[in-house]
């Protein structure tokens, strides 16, 4: 095997880092991640609303006009006590007409059924179909309806033949949907995207030497083929902590609390290094950009599905570390990542030490 000299590796890495300005696809991907990280608070609201529209109800400060029709009931008092609702008592036909014209946000109709009657009280809610405002107003009215339901339960409690079991749930703060989106999706996505981008970059840097026939010029210098490969791998690995660190700083600036940042960076660097080395091996085998990128993309999809199927994996470790709930399992993931990285290092050095021609 060739003896790798550090100064030669650094020289190659420095050359490739300077040439990244010409890689417009890579720069665009990095700028896209930068945009996501800078405006994560804004995107957090918008993207969460796509899969859970009711989650934005707690962040709305608008006073919504609604129509109330039917008999007077405690529900009317509950609705009028809310600062985010403005209740107008109207007959049903007029209220529905105003709703159709979007002059009010919803209509509630309460029948003449007395609270202590034997039959159920069937309250009707009229809203506009497929409207984002409907999701918000429905959530607000739902809270009022639940309060009215509790009132009806108390009124009819004398009918119970057995004492109901009271369930005690721990108090929670914040919105679960936002919590899941930020810590379960946004942070892992931003931190592992640099790994995929840098691995693809490593493939480009290696294959272009073969396709542009510049490898012979490099090998005419004192630099060996192994040093060329390690220089390109080093350049890609150095980009990972820079990007991941920038994302963590920007997320923190957006008011997102992230615990265990040093441990997160160690996990990201090790996992990213393994992915970059894997990409380098594919590039050394195929030596053609399109074929190498296609094989790498398919392999990454399969690997991610296999890794996510495991109870302990880098993604879950990042989530646990970010939320401050990491346990001993993170050390197992870290040890496996280190072992895989060491194995890929040996395989990459073995492949790079062979005759490149």
Query: Band of the pLDDT at 68, cuts 50, 70, 90?
Result: very high
Coil/strand/helix, residue 39: coil
Residue ranges making up the domain that contains 239: 6-38+175-352
Domain boundary among 109, 124, 154: 154
Does residue 32 lie in a domain region? yes
Query: Band of the pLDDT at 43, cuts 50, 70, 90?
Result: low
Domain boundary among 122, 154, 186: 154
pLDDT in tens, 107-158: 999 998 888 888 888 999 998 876 667 777 887 888 899 999 999 988 888 8
| Spatial contact of 70 and 111, defined as CB atoms under 8 Å apart | yes
Q: Are residues 190 and 304 in the same domain?
A: yes
pLDDT in tens, 234-252: 988 988 888 888 878 877 8
Does residue 204 lie in a domain region? yes
pLDDT at residue 42 above 60? no
Q: Name the pairing type of β-strands 64-70 and 85-89.
A: parallel
- Give me the pLDDT at residue 280, please: 92
Query: Band of the pLDDT at 164, cuts 50, 70, 90?
Result: low
CATH number for 149: 3.40.1710.10
Does residue 190 lie in a domain region? yes
Looking at the DSSP bridge assignments, the partners of residue 86 are: 65
Alpha carbons 340 and 278: distance in angstroms, whole number: 10
Does residue 197 lie in a domain region? yes
Note the pTM of the prediction, 2 decimals. Answer: 0.63
Whole-angstrom CA distances from 323 to 2, 195, 326 are 45, 22, 8
Alpha carbons 283 and 202: distance in angstroms, whole number: 8
């Amino acid at each position: 095997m060739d003896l790798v000299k550090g100064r030669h590796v650094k020289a190659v890495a420095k050359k490739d880092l300077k040439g990244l300005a010409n890689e417009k696809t890579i720069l665009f991907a990095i700028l896209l991640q930068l945009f996501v990280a800078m405006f994560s608070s804004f995107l957090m609201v918008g993207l969460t609303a796509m899969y859970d529209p009711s989650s934005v109800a707690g962040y709305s400060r608008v006073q919504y006009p609604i129509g109330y029709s039917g008999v007077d009931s405690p529900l009317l008092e509950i609705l009028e006590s809310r600062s985010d609702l403005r209740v107008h008592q109207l007959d049903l036909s007029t209220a529905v007409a105003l709703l159709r014209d979007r002059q009010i946000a919803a209509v509630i109709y309460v029948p003449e059924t007395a609270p202590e009657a034997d039959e159920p009280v069937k309250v009707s809610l009229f809203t506009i179909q497929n409207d984002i405002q409907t999701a918000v107003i429905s959530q607000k009215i739902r809270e009022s309806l639940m309060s009215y339901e509790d009132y009806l339960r108390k009124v009819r409690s004398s009918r119970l033949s057995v004492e109901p079991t009271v369930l005690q749930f721990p108090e929670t703060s914040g919105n679960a949907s936002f919590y899941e989106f930020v810590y379960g999706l946004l942070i892992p996505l931003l931190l592992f995207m640099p790994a995929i981008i840098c691995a693809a970059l490593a493939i480009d840097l290696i294959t272009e030497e073969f396709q542009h026939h510049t490898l012979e010029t490099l090998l005419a210098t004192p630099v060996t083929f192994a040093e060329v490969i390690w220089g390109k791998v080093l350049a890609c690995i150095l980009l990972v902590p820079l990007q991941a660190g920038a994302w963590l700083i920007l997320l923190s600036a957006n008011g997102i609390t992230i615990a265990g940042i040093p441990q997160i960076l160690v996990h990201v660097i090790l996992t990213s290094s393994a992915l970059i080395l894997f990409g380098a091996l594919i590039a050394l085998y195929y030596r053609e950009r399109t074929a190498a990128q296609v094989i790498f993309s398919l392999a990454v999809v399969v690997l991610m599905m296999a890794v996510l199927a495991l109870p302990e994996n880098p993604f879950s470790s990042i989530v646990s570390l970010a939320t401050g709930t990491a346990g001993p399992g993170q050390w197992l993931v870290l040890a496996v990542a280190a072992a895989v990285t060491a194995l890929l290092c040996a395989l990459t050095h073995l492949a790079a030490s062979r005759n490149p021609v």
